[in-house]
């Protein structure tokens, strides 16, 4: 099962659980209003989870520093680890509208007089380009808008806005491959230098731990100075197990050891950090291939999930990155980081559209809580509202 399937956004239909949730939420807000909560769709497990959650809360405020090892009989699959929607949405919106105006505002401004002519089309073009969507999708959209407006189907800014929203959602919503569920669930995090791989692993671990799972990190970046120490700090922060070798050691061999250790320690999740690498470096890309092979060698039954981290400030090179990584190690999902800045992360549109790989998480800051489940509708709303 895909790692991100363990995370859900709040479901409005789930009324029964909503009560429990709300109660739980109040408690959270009193004790630590930043804390996310755990939601369980299976009723009989709810009590268990809440109990677990209480322990975690206590632990965090320093009353009980014992790890809830015995609680791990709640297998990972039963947890729906909620990434609180409210706060991500607000934060994302805040980020996206900080120094520049939203799409909606801009489209309205451009189509002030309700007329779609060559000038307004050019301004719309600039609006799309500005968000790093790229020239291909931009021209495609412009052409569509032009055609529709000639046909009289797009007459004003409202119609253009809803048309755009629909088009964007269509691009982002794709069928995802279903992977079989294995224990441990192994996630390989890859990407170019400095995009936020290590930090994202820290954030993921934090949420998985809160769901009561056993989490292990493998320090696969044996190259960059102090990369291992960096991950160690995240392991400590999130109370995860870490497997590491020395700097300069073979990355594949630490991964091999880690996987074996993770299996014997009965881990639910293993998160593998890798060194940042530019996608045009053949040898470094081969190393990733080797890492994947070595996981299979450790245990042939393990399904590996490979997540590519893309920095939202990235321009058109992001697409080339994604293409290359997909070709070499196959990518199951994308994590879009640094959305708390002013970049809009439009590069995911050409990526998703071409490679048919879903965006699964977004990063909105440097703290443990700054990870959000990706929801295309919310993402687009945040772009527009």
Partner 1 sequence: MFENLTEKLGDIFDKLKGKGKLTEKDLDITLREVKLVLLGADVNFKVVKDFIKNVKEKSLGSEILKSLSPGHQVIKIVNEELVDILGGENEKIIFNSNRVTKIMLVGLQGSGKTTTCAKIAYNYKAQNKKILLVAADIYRPAAIKQLKVLGDSIGVEVFSMGDKEEPWKILKAAEEYAVPKGIDLIILDTAGRLHIDENLMEELSLIKQNNIVDETLLVVDAMTGQDAVNVADKFNEKIGLSGLILTKLDGDARGGAALSIKKVTGKPIKYIGVGEKINQLESFYPDRMASRILGMGDVLTLIEKAQSAFNEEEAKELEKKFRKAEFTFEDFYKQLQQIKKMGSISDIMNMIPGMGKLKKMQDVQVDEKELVYVEAIINSMTKEERIRPNVIDGSRKKRIASGAGRNVQEVNRLLKQFEDMKKMMKNMGKMQKMMGKMPGFPF
Q: Which residues bind partner 1 (CB under 8 A)?
A: 98-100, 126, 129-132, 134-136, 192-196, 202, 223-227, 229-230, 232-234, 247, 278-281, 311, 313-321, 338, 340-344, 346-347, 366
Query: What is the closest distance, in whole angstroms, from the C-beta atom of residue 220 to ligand GTP in the complex?
Result: 10
Query: What is the closest distance, in whole angstroms, from the C-beta atom of residue 14 to ligand GTP in the complex?
Result: 28
User: Is there a contact between 215 and 184 (Cβ–Cβ < 8 Å)?
Assistant: no
Q: Does 327 bind ligand GTP (CB under 6 A)?
A: no
Query: What is the closest distance, in whole angstroms, from the C-beta atom of residue 48 to partner 1 in the complex?
Result: 33
For partner 1, which is the closer residue by CB, 50 or 190?
Answer: 190
Q: Does 366 bind ligand GTP (CB under 6 A)?
A: yes
Stretch of 7-15, 114-122, 296-304, 359-367 contacting ligand GTP, by CB under 6 A: 359-367
The listed partner (Mg ion, ligand GTP, partner 1, none) that binds 105, CB under 5 to 8 Å by sort, is none
The first and second tokens of residue 183, run together, are 């224990």
For partner 1, which is the closer residue by CB, 74 or 127?
Answer: 127
- Is the CA virtual torsion 304, 177, 326, 215 positive or negative? negative
DSSP β-bridge partners for residue 378: none
- Count residues contacting ligand GTP (CB under 6 A)? 21
The first and second tokens of residue 283, run together, are 């040898």
For partner 1, which is the closer residue by CB, 20 or 368?
Answer: 368
The first and second tokens of residue 340, run together, are 């708390």
CA angle, 375 then 380 then 382, to 5°: 95
User: Is there a contact between 308 and 331 (Cβ–Cβ < 8 Å)?
Assistant: yes
Site for ligand GTP (CB under 6 A): which residue of 88, 272, 363, 383?
Answer: 363
Residue with tokens 């992977």: 179
Site for ligand GTP (CB under 6 A): which residue of 186, 219, 365, 378?
Answer: 365
Site for ligand GTP (CB under 6 A): which residue of 36, 221, 305, 375?
Answer: 221
Q: Does 337 bind ligand GTP (CB under 6 A)?
A: yes
* C-alpha closest to that of 360 among 380, 379, 335: 335
User: Is there a contact between 374 and 381 (Cβ–Cβ < 8 Å)?
Assistant: no
The listed partner (partner 1, Mg ion, ligand GTP, none) that binds 363, CB under 5 to 8 Å by sort, is ligand GTP
Query: Phi and psi of 89, rounded to 5°?
Result: -65, -45
The first and second tokens of residue 289, run together, are 């291939």
The listed partner (Mg ion, partner 1, ligand GTP, none) that binds 136, CB under 5 to 8 Å by sort, is partner 1
The first and second tokens of residue 350, run together, are 């050409």
**Residue 266, Ramachandran bin (φ over 0: left; ψ between -120 and 50: alpha; else beta):** left
């Amino acid at each position: 099962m895909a790692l991100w399937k363990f995370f859900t956004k709040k479901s409005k239909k789930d009324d029964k659980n909503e009560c429990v949730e709300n109660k739980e939420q109040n408690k959270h807000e009193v004790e630590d209003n930043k804390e996310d909560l755990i939601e369980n769709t299976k009723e009989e497990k709810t009590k268990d989870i809440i109990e677990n959650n209480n322990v975690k809360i206590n632990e965090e405020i320093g009353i009980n520093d014992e790890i809830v090892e015995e609680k791990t009989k709640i297998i990972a699959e039963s947890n729906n680890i909620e990434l609180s929607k409210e706060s991500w949405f607000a934060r994302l919106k805040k980020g996206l509208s900080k120094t520049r105006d939203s799409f909606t505002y801009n489209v309205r401004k451009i189509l002030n007089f309700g007329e779609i002519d060559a000038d307004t089309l050019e301004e719309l073009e600039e609006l799309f380009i500005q968000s790093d969507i790229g020239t291909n999708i931009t021209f495609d959209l412009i052409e569509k808008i032009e055609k529709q407006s000639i046909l009289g189907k797009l007459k004003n800014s409202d119609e253009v806005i809803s048309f755009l929203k629909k088009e964007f959602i269509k691009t982002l919503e794709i069928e995802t491959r279903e992977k079989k569920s294995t224990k441990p669930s192994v996630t390989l995090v890859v990407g170019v230098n400095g995009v936020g791989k290590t930090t994202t692993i820290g954030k993921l671990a934090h949420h998985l731990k809160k769901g009561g799972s056993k989490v292990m990190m493998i320090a696969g970046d044996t190259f960059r100075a102090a990369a291992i120490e960096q991950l160690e700090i995240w392991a400590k922060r999130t109370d995860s197990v870490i497997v590491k070798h020395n700097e300069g050691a073979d990355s594949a061999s630490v991964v091999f050891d880690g996987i074996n250790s993770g299996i014997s320690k009965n881990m639910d999740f293993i998160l593998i950090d890798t060194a940042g690498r530019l996608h045009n470096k053949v040898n470094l890309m081969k190393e990733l291939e080797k890492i994947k092979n070595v996981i299979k060698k450790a245990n042939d039954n393990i399904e590996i999930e490979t997540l590519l981290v893309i920095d939202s400030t990235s321009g058109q090179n992001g697409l080339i990155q994604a293409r290359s990584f997909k070709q070499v190690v196959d990518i199951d999902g994308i994590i879009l980081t640094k959305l708390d800045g002013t970049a809009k992360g439009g590069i995911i549109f050409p990526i998703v559209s071409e490679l048919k790989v879903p965006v699964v998480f977004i990063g909105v800051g440097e703290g443990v809580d700054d990870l959000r489940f990706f929801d295309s509708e919310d993402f687009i709303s945040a772009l527009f509202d």
